Copies of this chain bind each other. A is one copy, B any other.
Amino acid sequence: MRTSRARRAGGADETENGAAGGTVTGGRQWARADATRQALLSAALEVFADRGYADAGIAEIVERSGISVGSLYHHYGGKAGLYVALWEDLSAEQEASAAQAVSAARKDGEADPITLFIAGARAYLRVCWERRDAARLFLGGEGPSGSSLMRRSRAQHWIAQNTKLLRGTGEPAGRAEQVLSLVLTTVIGEAGREIATAESEAEATEIIEEVCRILIRLAR
């Protein structure tokens, strides 16, 4: 791959007057920093994907991004910080997409909890395909120590939401319902993994549909 290498060539537009080397206009003055973060993030994603988190070195991320170690630490505080940032990005997008799908369906007059749940699940899975590069990284399960707890706790939260969504009323929830919800959530997660590694959009879609059938069968 080795994209975005030329970025470092700069040296033409800085030294306006010293410190935060921005351009003249106020609104654009963070553009440079954003580009830096972006370059760091995308290089980190590549390297983590290629070598696995543990074997990835700061050095290689620096090389591929063309950004310096100093900047890396300035923005993300280190290797783990990059990983977490990547994770937050993706899961924010997934959550937003799912939430939006559910509320859109609601606005469409849909009231059946299971149908709403499936709408959310389908949106989530679609993001897994669209952003499969990132999804593969996390669904694969390796990360900084403590990251599995991070993922785990987000999953718990999601399970709780799904449990609530599925029972319509907001009440107790026995063990059976909890386990069911856990199972549903797990299935979606695993499906996401499978979809992120699918070889074509057609295959991904096929899996999504099959999984939705299973989810319906389970939730009913």
Contact = CB atoms under 8 A, between A and B. Distances in A.
B182 A190 contact: yes
A146 B50 CA distance: 12
Given A146-B52, A217-B218, A190 B186 contact: yes
Interface stretch (A10-18, A85-93, A126-134, A173-181): A173-181
- Interface-central residue, A55, A145, A183, by most chain B CB under 10 Å: A183
Interface stretch (A34-42, A60-68, A110-118, A206-214): A206-214
Contact of A194 (B182, B211, B214): B182
Contacts of A201: none
Contact of A214 (B141, B180, B206): B180
Interface residues of A, number: 30
Contacts of A175: 206-207, 210
B210 A176 contact: yes
Contacts of A145: 51-55, 142
A144 interface: yes
Nearest to A147: B142
A153 to B, nearest CB: 13
Does more than half of chain A's interface fall in helix, strand or loop, or is it mixed?
Answer: helix
A103 interface: no
A57 interface: no
Contact of A186 (B52, B54, B186, B210): B186
Nearest to A187: B183
Contacts of A168: none
20 contacts: A51-B145, A52-B145, A52-B146, A54-B54, A54-B144, A140-B148, A141-B148, A142-B145, A175-B210, A179-B210, A179-B214, A180-B214, A182-B190, A182-B194, A183-B211, A183-B214, A187-B187, A214-B218, A217-B218, A218-B218
